[in-house]
Structure 1
Amino acid sequence: MDQRTRHLMEHLPYLRRYARALTGSGTRGDALVTRTLEWFLDGGGSTPETDTSREALYRWLNLLQDDEREPPEPTNHPVEAALNTLPETERRLYLLVNLEDLPIADAAEVLEIPPEEAMEGLTRAREAVRNRLTAVILVVEDDAIIAFDLSETVRGMGHIVCGNAATMDEALSLAAEHTPTLALMDIRLAEGDNGIEVARELRRQRFLPVIFVTAFPDDLAKRGLEHLGPVIPKPFTREQIEQAITRAVFTPAPEQAKEPAQPQ
Structure 2
Amino acid sequence: MSLGEEIRGHLPFLRRYARALTGSQMHGDNFVHTTLEVIVAAPDEFRTCDDTRIDLYRNFHRIWESAFISDGEGDDESDPLVRAANRKLRRITPLGRQMLLLTALEGFSVGETALITGADNDIVESLLAEAAGEMDREARTSVLIIEDEPLIAMDLEQIVRGLGHEVAGVATTHEDAVAAFENTDAGLVLADIQLADGSSGIDAVQDILAIAPVPAIFITAFPERLLTGNRVEPTFLISKPFGENTVRAAISQSLLFTPQLAA
Tell me which interval the TM-score lies in, with the shorter structure as reference length: 0.3 to 0.5
* Greater Rg over alpha carbons, structure: 1
TM-score, normalized by length of structure 2?
0.47
Larger RCO: Structure 1 or Structure 2 (Cα < 8 Å, ≥ 6 residues apart)? 2
